[in-house]
Structure 1
Amino acid sequence: MEENQSDMIEARRVLLLVPRVTYRAADFLAAASRLGIEVVIGSDGALPLGVRPVIPVDPYDLPGSIDRIVRSGGPLDAVVAVDTPMLAVAAAVGERIGLPHNPMEAVMATMDKRAQRCRWAATGVPQPAFRVIAAGSDEYAVMSVAAELKFPCVVKALSLSGSQGILRVDHATDVPVAARRIRRVLSEGRGTDIEPLLIEEYVPGLEISIDALLTDGVATVIAVFDKPEMPDGPTFEETMLICPARLSDETLAASVSVAERATRALGLRHGPIHAELRIDPRHGDERPTMLELAARSIGGLCSRALRFAGNTSLEEMVLLNALGVGVTPQQETGTAGIFMLPLERAGVLHAIEGQTEAADVPGITGLSISIPLGETVHPLPEGDRYLGFVFGSGGTPEDVEAALRAARLRLRVVIR
């Protein structure tokens, strides 16, 4: 952190809104500590946050949550949602006490795939052709909606994220089967399956993600990843991510432009965004196509692979941005990569062997297992967690890819 930045954040207080389940709490708290920012915590769960007091908040009770924050939080200079479930609370708090925030309508649109698609369609943002399967549709109705699109297609739950509740289908007769399976995921996770589903054309090509920070609607790109091992279906586990993305200057500029258009169409103005796109090769050129956009930074522990000027973390960048401090998105030299370890079968996690050997692979900078032994696990599309994360760095993308693959091969996961 530069000296002038330190002066700008001295004695500043930030409300961190931490959901009950998240990978991100520890990294945001570490970032605040390094910056010397005083943190006020709001959460809907009992979290290992040391001796810090926690203000109880409930994303489903915005008026009560805001009242408790105003009553107990003291003076605040910024509010940051650590992860998706707290986005609406952050917007409501920002509006109530006059801090920079995203409009509630924009935040809600980021958490509803149908709303995203409709806003992008109205403004001409490139995206897959799509239809909505109404809640309660019978098998005939489901197949009729699917027949309006070309196969293969992708069926998605509107409200889930992280590749949960997403399945590729190649034939019309597969659509009702996929819809039933996704509705079971909704029922088991949310207690209800009464939700419309989205069906959209499958877009081939390289998948990328773009992270940026918004200041009054102006985006500063922080990182662009490509995903060289993204599967073609039927499920869509994100495994390997490489930064910087291997794109031509023209394709990179076009991708950033599409992501900025998608952001404006949703009405987002402040804070981090994480956009996911496919580079569609079907028309003889490379056409960036929007898949999804979230009003948060990259998920899981993936941000740990990134370091910026002065060894600044992504979470520090988010906090500085929230406080109105300009950020310099200059990454350290070389290539960074992550291998997100998917769960390959359902059962009880008994052992993860070979961790020392994996961590010793040249080019591997870290290994973090995120699920304790003894827990029952489920792969996608039912599951919503990854086994862990392997981090790597090197001089070239090929070096990092090779190191991450070698580390993965040394891990032996026992699920029974």
Structure 2
Amino acid sequence: MAIDVYANNCLLIIAQAHSYRIAPYLKAAYQRGLKPILASNGEYSLIQEVSDGLCIDFNQPEEALEQILQLTQNDVIVGVVGCDDSTVELAAEVAQSLGLPHNPPLAAKLSRRKDLARAHLLQAGCSVPKHLLINIAEFLQQPLSSKYNISFPCVIKPINLSASRGVIRANNNEELIVACQRIQGILADLDVNAELNSTDVAFEQAHALIEDYIDGVEVAFEGYLQNGQLYCIALFDKPDPLEGPFFEETIYVTPSNLSDTLQAMILKRLAQACDAYGLRVGPIHAELRVDGKDAWILEIASRTMGGDCARMLDSNSLDGDNEFTLEALSITLLVGQKVQVSKPQGSRGVMMIPIPKEGILRKISGLDSARKVNFVEKVDIIIAKGHKLIPLPEGDQYLGYIFARADTPAEVTKAIRDAHAKIQFAISPLWEIAPAC
């Protein structure tokens, strides 16, 4: 389904220079008759090798906005996409300046800053865990939980990172101190240009969020907003319990086994939260905890789901188009066209293959056997042999993905587990080089 708005129409894609989301957005843009223009960061960005490109400094948002508007003034921009958490706010500002469909820039900022989001949702009466924003260095000087009214167990997390990076459970004051020290190290080691991209870099590196641990099941939501109305594409169960001390996500499987009542509550809570943010249009990815009392908002992002997980939803129908992707859906919404998406047929699932330990990846075996497991569609390994592996909470990568489809969630989950059990990763330890005498 090509989008025939007018001749030479362009889609502006704002992304990190090495974002894995660039390729699927480029493909979806071309398939819909749009010329993609990439705005990215990095002095030596390779984006011009694959598409027209603009090199932008994300750490200077006002200058970046002016530069984008100036460099594209002769182009017919019909939509603006922010691929990553760190680019959705700038994308909203550009679209607002051009009079195109967009979320308010503040709403986009709330979707990437956990501390601001928590405070905003609490003020709006939404269900969020009890939380506390701390300056990590100041907290470590006098880390008494009674002074800060902290109850255990609790979870401490950076205010702006995704994929469970730096998220740690603490069961007592001693564990909380260790967790704070660990997060402080993670934030200090961040590549500011590639991972924060904000005028608030110093604040984001100095602060963390402490919140109540919610004992319950965790779910992921993938959907979209159209004229402020929230629609669900898929609700994913996470069969592996996420109890800490770290919160590495592994399996997503849909449809959810939760009752219709609980699923309706989740949709209601998410709609309330999106409204509180001010989000109006585009993709929505959310994470929630469901206990016996409520559905608690953990995260709402105004982007598609992370990693290559989105590929398990490919080929659903989009207004008669046989090749649906979440990227195609996002583009269609952000150029102002209406969509109606049917939910996936049967059951689908994916495993984000966890990194078992730190070291150098030396050998991978058992892939052929894993790919032959009944209901497994694909096994992708994305980290090459010889590369360093860093597990959570410091790391932010997975070894790869296992995709499966079947009639039921139980069949999908079993297929993924059986396939994963057949893969062996040989990981050698890291050895520090001794200084020369």
TM-score range normalised by the length of the shorter chain: over 0.9
Which of residues 266, 273, 276 in structure 2 aligns to 1:265? Answer: 276
Shift of 1:319: 1.0
Does structure 1 residue 409 correspond to structure 2 residue 421?
yes
Alignment correspondent of 1:85:
86
Letter in 1 for 2:363: A
Is the contact made by 2:140 and 2:180 (CA closer than 8 Å) also made in structure 1? no
Alignment correspondent of 1:113:
114
Counterpart CA distance in 1 for 2:152 and 2:372 is: 44
- 1:63-78 correspondence to structure 2 within 5 Å: 63-73=62-72, 74-78=75-79
Q: 1:243-285 deviations in whole A, cap 9, x for unaligned? A: 122221111111011011111111222211111101112x4xx
Q: 1:125-154 deviations in whole A, cap 9, x for unaligned? A: 111111122242143633236762331110
Is the contact made by 1:272 and 1:318 (CA closer than 8 Å) also made in structure 2? yes
Q: Secondary structure at the match of 2:155?
A: strand
Alignment correspondent of 1:31:
28
Does structure 1 residue 359 correspond to structure 2 residue 371?
yes
Shift of 1:51: 4.0
Is the contact made by 2:47 and 2:53 (CA closer than 8 Å) also made in structure 1? no
Letter in 2 for 1:352: I
Shift of 1:302: 0.7
Q: What's the % identity of the aligned pairs?
A: 32
Is the contact made by 1:129 and 1:149 (CA closer than 8 Å) also made in structure 2? no
Say if 1:10 and 1:324 are closer, same or farther in 2 by CA, change over 3 A: farther
- 1:107-256 correspondence to structure 2 within 5 Å: 107-139=108-140, 141-144=142-145, 148-190=149-191, 194-256=205-267
Letter in 1 for 2:277: L
Listed as ranges, the gaps of 5+ residues in structure 2 are: 193-201, 429-437
Counterpart CA distance in 1 for 2:364 and 2:29 is: 32
Say if 1:161 and 1:146 are closer, same or farther in 2 by CA, change over 3 A: farther
Is the contact made by 1:136 and 1:194 (CA closer than 8 Å) also made in structure 2? no
Letter in 2 for 1:212: G
Q: Secondary structure at the match of 2:386?
A: coil
Range with bigger deviation, 374-383 or 93-102? 93-102
Alignment correspondent of 1:62:
61
Is the contact made by 2:217 and 2:289 (CA closer than 8 Å) also made in structure 1? yes
Does structure 1 residue 17 correspond to structure 2 residue 24?
no
Is the contact made by 2:234 and 2:344 (CA closer than 8 Å) also made in structure 1? no
Q: Secondary structure at the match of 2:103?
A: coil
Say if 1:115 and 1:411 are closer, same or farther in 2 by CA, change over 3 A: same
Letter in 1 for 2:416: L
Counterpart CA distance in 1 for 2:64 and 2:253 is: 39
Range with bigger deviation, 39-48 or 340-349? 39-48
Q: Secondary structure at the match of 1:296?
A: coil
Is the contact made by 2:127 and 2:269 (CA closer than 8 Å) also made in structure 1? yes
Is the contact made by 2:353 and 2:400 (CA closer than 8 Å) also made in structure 1? yes
Range with bigger deviation, 188-197 or 72-81? 188-197
Is the contact made by 1:203 and 1:278 (CA closer than 8 Å) also made in structure 2? yes
Counterpart CA distance in 1 for 2:276 and 2:139 is: 33
Letter in 1 for 2:287: E
Counterpart CA distance in 1 for 2:3 and 2:116 is: 40
Counterpart CA distance in 2 for 1:279 and 1:144 is: 26
Letter in 2 for 1:33: Y
Alignment correspondent of 1:400:
412
Shift of 1:106: 1.7
Which of residues 389, 409, 412 in structure 2 aligns to 1:377? Answer: 389
Q: Secondary structure at the match of 1:66?
A: helix
Letter in 2 for 1:158: I
Counterpart CA distance in 1 for 2:308 and 2:50 is: 24
Alignment correspondent of 1:103:
104
Letter in 2 for 1:324: G
Counterpart CA distance in 1 for 2:241 and 2:139 is: 32
Letter in 2 for 1:165: G
Alignment correspondent of 2:343:
331
Shift of 1:200: 0.7
Letter in 1 for 2:140: E
Q: Secondary structure at the match of 2:102?
A: coil
Does structure 1 residue 279 correspond to structure 2 residue 290?
yes
Alignment correspondent of 2:40:
43
Counterpart CA distance in 2 for 1:10 and 1:276 is: 40
Q: 1:364-394 deviations in whole A, cap 9, x for unaligned? A: 1112222222222210000011111111101
Is the contact made by 1:154 and 1:199 (CA closer than 8 Å) also made in structure 2? yes
Listed as ranges, the gaps of 5+ residues in structure 1 are: none
